[in-house]
Amino acid sequence: MIDLVEYYKNNVKKDDYYYRFYEELITIPEKKQKQMEEAFWFDDGDYINDTRYEVFDEEDAIKRFKELCDPNEDMTSNNTNIELFYFICFYLKSSGFVLKEFPRLLERPPLEPFKFTYNEIRNRAIEKGMADENGTVKYNTRRMIIADFHFVKENSSIKVDDDINKKFQEISTRNAKFEAMTTDEKIKEIINFIENILKENGKYIKLDYETIALNTLNDETITSFKKKIQCFRHSSDEAIKERNNFTEKQKKFIIDYGIMLCNLIYYNKN
């Protein structure tokens, strides 16, 4: 399970658009958090604890997002819904997703969620000619649009094997799986992964790159790669400024290339 509150606290940066919601989102009283847990007893006696601010995985987060967009949901005065909306948007954005029908939504959600869940979805229905003659957009019409939302992942296109993912989780200071990390965190942990695998007794081991990588890699190549992205391991003002110079496309390349290196080093060393 992914704790969306902890995920937000651990990953939001002060220069991030989502930081404007910080006080509202993470100063939730403990008493209120307990009230957000819904308990259900089934006939067989099994107990299910449904914590409102947790999702099982990315697929579950998308499902919960669509549920929040349902026209019957209160997105004006229900603080739980409003907070969950921002937590899920941040998680999906940080995981590399884009909502195809509203490509800017996850990057910059509105200050009032209902402006999206009501206004923008209604406007889309009108633009697509789905409103009645009098301009009314029925609830079922809105639900059709919501059900057809397409979330496209624009992050890593290279698969992270289970063994590699377990190693990332082991190295991570918060025991996070690779897919549960933000873009910047993934880059940081790629460096940590490479160093963890290659370093033994304080010294870096050498692999036969000529054989395993057709002589396209060597120790200098990997050292140069790590040096270029060292700023992702630090939180100084200088490092943050340096990180901000990287475009999203460059970060995507770094992650794809980094995963390739992690796969190559891990499996050939072992």
Kindly report, residue by residue over 9-36, the tens digit of the pLDDT.
888 888 889 999 998 887 643 445 555 4
Residues 6+ apart with CB under 8 A from 159: 259
Cα dihedral 118, 124, 126, 128 sign: negative
Could you tell me the pLDDT band of residue 53, with boundaries at 50, 70 and 90? Answer: confident
Express as a percent the part of the chain with pLDDT over 70.
88
What are the CB-based long-range contacts (under 8 Å, 24+) for 162-168?
A: 163/266, 164/193, 164/259, 164/262, 164/263, 164/266, 167/193, 167/196, 167/197, 167/266, 168/193
The H-or-E segment that residue 48 falls in is strand 47-51
Could you tell me the pLDDT band of residue 215, with boundaries at 50, 70 and 90? Answer: confident
Hunting for tokens 């290279």 — which residue is that? 158
Measured in degrees and rounded to the nearest 5, phi and psi for residue 135 equal 90, 5
pTM of the complete model: 0.58
Give the whole-angstrom CA distance, residue 80 versus residue 75.
Answer: 9
